Amino acid sequence: MITGGTSGIGEAVVRLLVAEGGRVMIVGRAEERLEAARGRLAGDEGAVALLAADVTAEDAPARVRDAALAAFGRIDGLVNAAGVSATTSLDAGPLEPWHEQWELNVIAPKRLIDALAPAMIEAGGGTIVNVASSAGRRPSATDAAYAVAKRGELALTEVYAQELASRGVRVVAVAPGPTATPLWMDPGGRLDELTAAAGEPRDEVLAAVATKLPLGRLATSEEVAAAVLAALAGLADDGAVLPVDGGHVTETYP
């Protein structure tokens, strides 16, 4: 089960899993984007199922669980990769962006874990991977709502790892740094937000971001997806946070 699987990191995870012979259900909000994502995949279409659902909706977890069981008969893994880009400061202002980030990055993954973990336990075990962010490991006031929610997602990972380990379900987080996904690079994305704030040319802002990364560039979706696949394959300790940030955050969480 991959939420946010129609673009960016989520879609890259889908591509890798299908290439490895996995069967995947992609969950996304828009039917047309789901069909487009499936159309970009090589290989057997029968390995991919689609479900149009807003993961923040109250009925979404049960729909996701039931659709997966109907399509494949079992659930072995869940990747919470849905996300949106938003710049919010600590200045007084509307709280809607804070609620949106919390619902998407903490409450929706919690509900999905609650709904899908019992099916994993019944099948003999499974793995849950939360796609968090380096912003949760080193929060910044320039994207405060996002950073606070991503910090919460890391804590969510830890408490569920403790709760589910004895029942055969591993819970792991992957924490990407700046990554060249549509959320960063597309018009209206994170790069455009930084460009507007800096009042400088887009290419110069991108170069400035890259110089702050020891790797010297943004990560690719495929690099982050490889870490997710490793976590699903059991190559990460239960409760671990796998950074894929090019050395952006040097300290160990927490």
3-state DSSP assignment of residue 216: coil
| C-alpha pair distances (Å), 162 with each of 167, 172, 176, 240, 242 | 10, 11, 23, 11, 17
| Residue 73 zone, left/alpha/beta (φ > 0; ψ -120 to 50; rest) | left
Question: What distance in Å separates the CA atoms of residue 142 and residue 19, rounded to the nearest whole number?
Answer: 38
Q: Which of 28, 104, 146, 209 does the annotation list as catalytic?
A: 146
- Tokens standing for residue 179: 């990554």
For residue 34, give the amino acid letter: L
Give 130's DSSP letter.
E
Alpha-carbon gap, residue 110 to 240, rounded angstroms: 17
Task: Give yes or no: 146 in active site.
Answer: yes
**Exposure of 223 by Cβ count < 10 A (0-12 exposed, 13-18 middle, 19+ buried)?**
middle
Catalytic residues: 146
